[in-house]
Homo-oligomer: A and B are copies of this chain.
Amino acid sequence: MNITIAQLNYHIGNFEYNKIIICNAIEKARADGSELVIFSELCIPGYPPLDLLDRIDFIEKCNAAVSEIAEFCKGITAIVGSPVFNTYPEGKKLYNSALVLSEGKILFRTNKALLSARDTFDEYRYFEPGTNSSIFSFKGIKIALTIGEDLRDVQPFDNEFEKSGYPMDDPASYNPDMIINISASPFSHTRIESRKKIFTSKAARHGIPVVTVNQTGANTELIFDGASLIINGEGKIYHQLPYFEEMVFSFSLDDLAAWKNPSPEIRHDPLSLIRKALVTGIRDYFRKTGVKKCIAGLSGGIDSVVVLCLAREALGPENVKALLLPSRYSSDHSVSDSIELAHNLGIGYEIISIEKAFSSFLETLEPYFRNCKPDVTEENIQARIRAILLMAFANKFGAILLNTSNKSEAAVGYGTLYGDMAGGIAVIGDVYKTDVYRLAREINREREIIPEKIITKPPSAELRPDQLDTDSLPEYDILDSILYQYIDLNKPADGIVLENYDRSVVDKVLRLVNYNEYKRHQAPPVLRISSKAFGDGRKMPIVAKY
């Protein structure tokens, strides 16, 4: 028997578009002689639909799309994911279901049992956990059909305080001939191998082939990496679909059993996957909002430089514009390095001094501030003038401003709200500063795109004379290590100090992280590449004292 897996990039709520790409894949599966084609979790509305699930009209549109696709399944069977009304009078209003469709009918349905309630996921908000069987019989083959975490009795947590969910009624105990897992599992560079291992070890433990179908593409901050797997009963990967690309792939169950024509293993180093993830994130944010052009401030520092390289890769040089916005405190190299980079990338740029605007604010405020010393106020004014100019270009020419803040500075509040914290999407907001440097090296791997001097000069915000980041922050390797332990691993201060960091440095960093929750609350959505990014997946009280 031939089976097709469809790893696609859905657009949330765009039912017409999702139906077209699903029907095209069914068409290809039929042409490949497949009897079964498998799509990913909640592919009908696109994942994550969030509170659109609270709208009856939205669920009715899902139902209508399922009916149309079922009608389209002539001579073939498809497995799709969609929300389905819970008709029982109690419990949550919906199930997160996998539906087996053929010849205009729903042949079988199973509901996700182990709902996600971690990080950005909040499935208990909408869904009743399923309790029905996941086993169905298809042309003499007994299939266990599972959704997302339902197959993951071991979860890949970074934080030891976390526990696995309930042990569900293990579908493997029914001795199926094959286990299918449909999911919408976002990329995390720390979990690439551990996620694979969940599936291969499941297959090996029970001696049953496992087929997984993940979605790909990005929806705002969430970037889905695809990498769907076909695994044999020994737990060996027979075929892996690519990272961050759509693919409709057909294979024969007999070939899988006979280990005929296996594909070579795909290996990527984490940095090249991070780069692909971010490019995917940018591309889909623009494509799905229908905007073509981006703009960003280019200071000549490593952050804006890396963001512009990624944006060019995602959108093409003709859609990327840089503004160089020097002030009285900008070094000469900040402009010359920026021009060199813009030439390397072949992108348009303008050089606009903020001096006139800055002077006008200082004059306007002089009567009120004349007895005060210059402080962070004046630094913030410069950052905010730049935001006004960037947003003016964005407004006037229909572009979206890219935010260039990194995770380290977002963590400690080293940025100006309504200034350099502005933008439609934060491209490297989940990348620590030390990883931004690594990403720069990765971008330069094949040829020097980023001038070496940009990578090696000491980082500075250039908001007052001779300012350096290290004036107010520890060295970035120390800072990032403390931040990773505190934010990504949730380690207590005492535990971090035990790793040989100075107590006063740890206390200072943690105090800055806690104090700056209010700033991050108003930050743009952050493209996620780790398992703990700032944004909706990290909910901290603002007025807390901790």
Contact = CB atoms under 8 A, between A and B. Distances in A.
B392 A365 contact: yes
B357 A490 contact: no
Nearest to A419: B418
Contact of A125 (B48, B51, B122, B523): B122
A90 interface: yes
Interface residues of A, number: 96
A241 to B, nearest CB: 23
B52 A163 contact: no
A11 B56 contact: no
A269 interface: no
A546 B13 contact: yes
A118 interface: yes
Contact of A117 (B58, B122, B376, B546): B122
Report the 7 A-B pairs with minimum CB-CB distance, sorted nearest first. A13-B546, A57-B492, A12-B544, A124-B124, A288-B543, A360-B360, A14-B545
A363 interface: yes
Q: Which of A159, A525, A536, A545 has the most CB of B within 10 A?
A: A545
Given A365-B392, A388-B388, A545 B13 contact: yes
Interface string A511-546: 000000010011111000000000010111111111
A166 B90 contact: yes
A393 B284 CA distance: 39
A374 to B, nearest CB: 10
Interface string A133-163: 0000000000000000000000000010111
A164 B544 contact: no
Given A11-B543, A122-B117, A124-B115, A364 B357 contact: yes
Contacts of A167: 90
Contact of A124 (B14, B117, B524): B117
B368 A393 contact: yes
A14 B518 CA distance: 18
Contacts of A540: 50-52
A391 B494 CA distance: 36
A91 B11 CA distance: 33
A329 interface: no
Nearest to A57: B492
Interface string A360-398: 110111001100100111001100110111011101100
Given A356-B360, A372-B396, A13 B124 contact: no
A375 B396 contact: yes
Interface string A278-289: 000000110011
A443 interface: no
6 contacts: A57-B494, A90-B163, A368-B396, A372-B396, A522-B524, A536-B539
Interface string A401-440: 0000000000000000110001010000000000000000
Interface of A: 11-14, 17, 46, 48-52, 54-58, 86, 89-93, 115, 117-118, 122, 124-125, 159, 161-167, 219-220, 284-285, 288-289, 350, 352-354, 356-357, 359-361, 363-365, 368-369, 372, 375-377, 380-381, 384-385, 387-389, 391-393, 395-396, 417-418, 422, 424, 490, 492-494, 518, 521-525, 536, 538-546
Contacts of A522: 522-524
Contacts of A12: 541, 543-546
A288 B400 CA distance: 36
A288 B545 contact: yes
B93 A162 contact: yes
Contacts of A50: 539-541
Given A49-B541, A541-B49, A543-B220, A55 B492 contact: yes
Contacts of A353: 364
B48 A541 contact: yes
Given A285-B543, A361-B392, A380-B395, 7 more contacts: A11-B545, A91-B165, A220-B541, A357-B360, A375-B396, A388-B418, A418-B418
B546 A525 contact: no
Q: Which of A11, A57, A388, A417 has the most CB of B within 10 A?
A: A388
A391 B393 CA distance: 22
A544 B13 contact: yes
B356 A93 contact: no
A388 B418 CA distance: 8
A90 B163 CA distance: 6
Contacts of A492: 55-57
A542 B357 contact: no
Contacts of A350: 368
A521 B58 CA distance: 22
